[in-house]
Amino acid sequence: MSSQANFTHAEAAEQFIADEPRTDWHDDTLWFVREKRDKAANSLPEWEQLRQWASDIKYHGLSNMHQLLVDFEKNAIANGIQVHWAVDGKEHNEIIYKIIQDNQVQRIVKSKSMLTEECHLNEFLTEKGVEIVDTDLGERIVQFRKEAPSHIVLPAIHLKKQDVSETFHKHLGTEKGNNDPQYLTEAARGHLRDKFIASELAITGVNFAIAETGGFVVCTNEGNADMGAHAAKIHIACMGFEKIIPKAEHLGVFLRLLARSATGQPITTYSSHFSKPRAGQQMHIVIVDNGRSRQLGRESFRNSLKCIRCAACFNTCPVYRRSGGHSYHTAVAGPIGSILNPNLDMQANKDLPFASTLCGSCSNVCPVKINIHEQLYLWRQEITKEGMAAKGKTFAMWGMSEVLAHPAIYRMAGKMGRWVVKHLPFLTNNGMNPWFKQREMPEAPKESFRDWYLNNKQK
C-alpha cells in the first residue's frame, strides 16, 4: 500500500516556501531540536562507540532475522501474548478489525505508531465505521484537522500555536484566541483522560521487541501509550519485523541513543517494558512485513531497516526543514522516508530520493549509522535506470554519476564550476538550473577545500 499523491515533493515544497516567515520559523524550530541533540550527544564521550554498537547489533539482527523472529514468537506466546503475522498493510488492518469485531468493542484509543500510518489503519477503520482516537497530543491535533502527521516524532511541528488554538476551539470548545500551550495542553489532557478511562481497546506501536524475552518496549513522553494499554482490556501492539533486537541488555545501547538523538532528552519519560498481559487482559502483537523482507534482500538498501525512527535525520536535513513533512506525501517523511518509500512503491515515490542535497548531515547524526545520503544517491541511479526520473533530473544525474565515479573529473568539474559561478554567473543563475529557484547562487570560494588543504599542508 502506498500513498497516491498527485503532487511531487518539489511542487509541494514550492507551496510550502511561498510563506517565507513560516518557512524560516519551521527551519529554526527544527534546527533548535537538532542543537539539543548535539548537546546530548556531546555529553557522552562514548557516543561514537554507542552508534557503532547500535549499528552492529542491528546488523546482527538483520542477518539473523529469521531465527530471532521465531524465538520472539515462541517466547511471546509462552508469556500469554497472541502473535499475528501480516504480509502487508491490508492484512495488518484486517487483523485489527477482526479483533475489534470478535470482541465487540467500540471505544478505541491509539498511541503513536508510524506503522499504522504506513498501513493507513485509521482510514481503513473509518470506512468500516470504527472510530479511533489518537492520543498523542500532536497526533490528536492533526487528527482533528484531518491532516497527516508531518514528522515522526513531532507530528504537529508544521503548526503554530494559533492553529492549534483554533482547532481546539472548534473541537474542544477552548477559549477563542487563547494560544497558551499550557492551557491548550490542559484542555487536551482533560478530553483524552475521558477517552482513556472509557477505552476498551488500545493500539500502540513498538520501539523494540526482544527476541530473548518475547517482550517489547514502547517509549513515550506523554504517557499516552501506557494510559491506554493499562486501562483497556485489550492491547494490540503493531510492529514492523525489523524492530527485533536479540537481548534485553541491548536496550541499554538503544535507549541511550534514542531520545538523545530525537529531542536531546537523556531518555524518554516512559520506557515501558511489556512482557505479559495483566490478569484478565488480552495482549496481541501484529508483526508486519509490508515490503521489509524485499528491502532486506536489496544489498544497497537493507541497512535502512536498522532505523529506530528517532527523526534526527529529519531535524538536520536542510531540505526537510525548508519543505515540511507533508511535501514528502508519505507516512515516514524526511531522508529515511525517501529511502524506505521507493521500496514500497517506486513509481509513486520516485521523486523522493531527489529531495536531498546529499550533504550527508543525515548520515552523520544517525544513531544506527545508516549511510542515508549514499542510499539516496543509489536510489536516484535505480530510478533513473528504470526511466522514471524527471527530465531535468536525468540530465543532472547523468553528469553527477559520471563525475562522482571519477575523482579526477570531480575535482576538475569543481574547479570549472567555481570558475563558471565566478565569471559566467548567468549560466547557473538561469531558469535551466533548478537549484536557482528561490535562492541566489552562492559566491564561489576562491579555492576548494581540497586545494586549500593541499596548499596549507605544503606551507
By CB under 6 A, residue 372 contacts ligand SF4: yes
| CB closer to other proteins out of 46 and 131 | 46
Q: Which does 184 bind (CB under 5 to 8 A by kind): other proteins, ligand SF4, none?
A: other proteins
- What is the residue type of 324? G
Q: Which does 312 bind (CB under 5 to 8 A by kind): ligand SF4, other proteins, none?
A: ligand SF4
By CB under 8 A, residue 360 contacts other proteins: no
Cα–Cα distances (Å) from 429 to 166, 417, 420, in that order, read: 42, 13, 11
| CB closer to ligand SF4 out of 225 and 312 | 312
By CB under 8 A, residue 196 contacts other proteins: yes
Q: Report d(CA 311, CA 149) in Å as an integer.
A: 13
Query: Which of these segments, 155-163, 394-402, 415-423, 424-432, binds other proteins (CB under 8 A)?
Result: 155-163
Q: Report d(CA 198, CA 30) in Å as an integer.
A: 36
By CB under 8 A, residue 230 contacts other proteins: yes
3-state secondary structure at position 214: coil
Q: Which does 59 bind (CB under 5 to 8 A by kind): ligand SF4, other proteins, none?
A: other proteins
Q: Are 118 and 332 in contact (CB under 8 A)?
A: yes
φ/ψ of 307, rounded to 5, equals -55, 130
Which residues 316-345 are close enough to bind ligand SF4 by CB under 6 A? 336
85 phi-psi bin (left φ>0, alpha ψ -120 to 50, beta other): beta
By CB under 6 A, residue 184 contacts ligand SF4: no
DSSP 326: G
Residue among 121, 125, 285, 368 that touches ligand SF4 (CB under 6 A): 368
Residue among 189, 406, 437, 450 that touches other proteins (CB under 8 A): 189
By CB under 6 A, residue 40 contacts ligand SF4: no
- What is the residue type of 85? W
Q: Are 81 and 277 in contact (CB under 8 A)?
A: yes
By CB under 8 A, residue 161 contacts other proteins: yes
By CB under 6 A, residue 352 contacts ligand SF4: no
Which residues 261-300 are close enough to bind other proteins by CB under 8 A? 263, 265-279, 287, 289, 293-294, 296-297, 299
Task: Tell which residue, 250, 214, 246, 274, has the closest CA to residue 72.
Answer: 214
162 C-beta neighbours (distance < 10 Å), count: 10
Which residues 296-315 are close enough to bind ligand SF4 by CB under 6 A? 307-313
